[in-house]
Chains A and B, each alone.
Chain A
Amino acid sequence: MKVLDHLEEWLISTLMGLATIIIFVAVIHRYLSGMPIPGVQDWLLTLNFSWAQEATIYLFVWMAKFGAAYGVRTGIHVGVDLFINRMKDKSRAKFVLFGLLAGALFTGTVAALGAHFVWANGAHYAFFHVLGIDTTGMTSGPTTPDLEWQTWIIYSAIPLGSSLMCFRFLQVAWHFRRTGDLPHHDHGHVEGIDEVTPHDVNPAKT
């Protein structure tokens, strides 16, 4: 379980950093290759960064799907809790549990839909092809415009990410049922603030 947690965190941080670097390098490359520096320019012109936008989009799609699963674990997905927070603890707990299970239901459905879609758009062919099973009558599925990667590989982020998210919802629901705790994200967290001594609202008159 710990391994899965770390893998998830490592994956989304890396995707985030990688996308930033790719766009940064692509932009720098675009301007540098326009400059007449002997030797360097010719070398730069041989490099091709036209795939950078597409790659960034796919990196972020993967980041978004797995990050959303991580978000369930950190409690960052918020809803309208105005009404249920005014209820008694017991009825509130029922609604919280309902919300979490609804999350599991939705992500589970999406995972199933996504898996079906990916299977029909190339994964079926690819697996059978690798396994050496007869693939007559099957198509290899479309590829992306710039990178010319198989789209089913990119789109498998949706069944994989959604399944993980479904699992996280169930995990949080199970934890809530047992302990009554929910993960909570602090939106006002800022690093590097010295611990403030809470001042007195009614300061003593001097």
Chain B
Amino acid sequence: MNGLIIFGLLILLMATGMPISIALGLTVLTFIFGFTSVPLQSVALKLFTGLESFEIMAIPFFILAGNFLTHGGVAKRMINFASSLVGHWYGGLGLAAVLACALFAALSGSSPACVVAIGSILMPAMVRAGFPPRFGAGVITTSGALGILIPPSIAMVMYSVSTNTSLGAMFIAGVIPGIALASMLGATTWYRARKNNYPRQPRASWGERWAAFRKSVWGLLLIVVVMGGIYSGLFTPTEAAAMAAVYAFFIAVFVYKDLTLRDVPRVLLQSANMSAMLLYIITNAILFSFVLTNEQIPQHLADWLVGMGLGWIGFLLVVNILLLLAGNVMEPSSIILIMAPILFPVAVKLGIDPVHFGILIIVNMEVGMCHPPVGLNLYVASGITKMGITELTVAVWPWLLTMLTFLVIVTYWPALSLWLPHLMLK
């Protein structure tokens, strides 16, 4: 009953369009003042201590690292490297877009920024080469979402913070599904390009490939710093994020020279702005899940679902549908912070591996970014391709279908996500 009140209140407040963090906070306050006897003191204490976790602080550091490298110059280097590798195949520039997006989004950590950075360089190039604009728009919109699956990923930090899952395990688990999804999007691109006989690029020589690789490698080493540092035990995930931020600063200012020292305060301010917004949602989501736990709502939900005889297959189906629906109205970090604490106890009770469950949620979020009505990637892609949302929706369809197929695979084949972390962390 209390569960219905809480969620009814939350949905009502959110529907008015107020910031999600505020809707969460007001729901908690209203509930506490009106419906329960939870002492206000314990909630106030949560308000102070909720953020006091060193793990959460990986988020601002990763955002800072990403912002140093979210630059057109870095995007160009990734594109050159990608097209020197795969440009001569069918749909060459399209494949290059998939690869460049995967690399760039992994560095910058922001899907929409990836769509803009890669798209505004590759879209005109593709149209000039003779690709239909819809083809390019479809590839770039969907590939831009790859970044949240390929570590380092903010969405994964959100998941591990709200469910106490190991962040290192999540990052490692994302590698194989990330490569698999990139390959599947590439295969779709290749197949459609071959069928329609789209242009190919001249084959690059190994010398050119080496030159392009040498230029892009400084950015790509960021992934090595993070993953290598965490895996080898040199750093904790948060320290790895801070090292990544310092590394990214050094590369952007002294190696790539895309930024000057005078740009640094602006990058700091932008990063602080973005991180504070996410941390604010986190604070209020922690209050929210504190109230939920206090009312034992996740436990009741788990008992109820298990009592209905819902197995893990049925449960994951329900979870996918629920998250895809939520993806229609909200952006990924809010969905993860609100839904994960509720669904996680059920998943654990049904014997689903926390890491597998996390990867499933992340893939779900990727799909949500690429379809209407609120897919952020779709909106920024519409800006750079000058296509309407309706036309873009048609354009992304083949790749969106590929993503949904991939979602089914990830959902029902746990080994895909779990094999690598089990191998490396045992």
Contacts and interface: CB of A to CB of B under 8 A. Distances in A.
Interface of A: 9, 12-17, 19-20, 23-24, 27, 31, 53, 56-57, 60-61, 63-68, 70-71, 74, 76-85, 95-96, 98-100, 102-103, 105-107, 109-110, 113-114, 116-117, 155, 158, 185, 187-194, 196-199, 201, 203
Contacts of B271: 16
Interface string B73-105: 101000000000000000000000000000000
Nearest to B50: A61
Contact of A199 (B60, B75, B124): B124
7 contacts: A20-B61, A67-B276, A77-B22, A79-B22, A82-B328, A117-B48, A188-B380
Contacts of A68: 21, 276-277, 279-280
Contact of A76 (B52, B54, B64, B277): B277
Contacts of B72: 190-194
Contact of B44 (A64, A78, A82, A114): A114
A77 to B, nearest CB: 4
B16 A193 contact: no
Given A98-B16, A191-B71, A105 B26 contact: yes
B383 interface: yes
* Main SS class of interface, B: helix
B60 A102 contact: no
A15 B14 CA distance: 31
Interface residues of B, number: 84
Contacts, number: 229
Interface string B106-131: 00001011011100110110010000
Interface in B245-271: 245-246, 258-259, 263-265, 268-269, 271
Given A27-B242, A81-B17, A95-B16, 6 more contacts: A13-B272, A16-B272, A27-B243, A57-B54, A103-B22, A105-B26
B31 to A, nearest CB: 13
B279 A64 contact: yes
Nearest to B239: A27
Contacts of B274: 76
B387 A201 contact: yes
A12 B123 CA distance: 36
A33 B391 CA distance: 60
Nearest to B246: A24
A67 B51 contact: no
A113 to B, nearest CB: 5
B142 interface: no
Nearest to A185: B273
Nearest to B274: A76
B384 interface: yes
Interface of B: 13-23, 25-26, 29, 40, 44-45, 47-48, 51-54, 57, 60-61, 64, 70-73, 75, 110, 112-113, 115-117, 120-121, 123-124, 127, 133, 234-235, 238-239, 242-243, 245-246, 258-259, 263-265, 268-269, 271-277, 279-280, 283, 328-331, 373-374, 376, 379-380, 383-387, 391
Contact of B269 (A12, A83, A158, A201): A12
Contacts of B48: 114, 117, 155, 158
A103 B19 contact: yes
A187 B18 contact: no
Contacts of B383: 188
B59 to A, nearest CB: 9
A24 B44 contact: no
Count chain A CB atoms within 10 A of each CB in B48, B124, B386, B387 and give the residue with the most. B48
A190 B72 CA distance: 7
The 6 tightest CB contacts between A and B, nearest first, are A67-B276, A192-B72, A99-B18, A188-B380, A77-B19, A23-B242
Contacts of A74: 273
Contact of B19 (A27, A60, A78, A189): A78
A98 B268 contact: no
A80 B373 CA distance: 11
B272 A15 contact: yes
B226 to A, nearest CB: 13
A198 B386 contact: yes
Given A67-B272, A188-B383, A103 B29 contact: no
Contacts of A96: 17
Contacts of B245: 20
A19 B330 CA distance: 31
B18 A79 contact: yes
A187 B171 CA distance: 24
Given A64-B279, A102-B22, A16 B268 contact: yes
Nearest to A100: B18
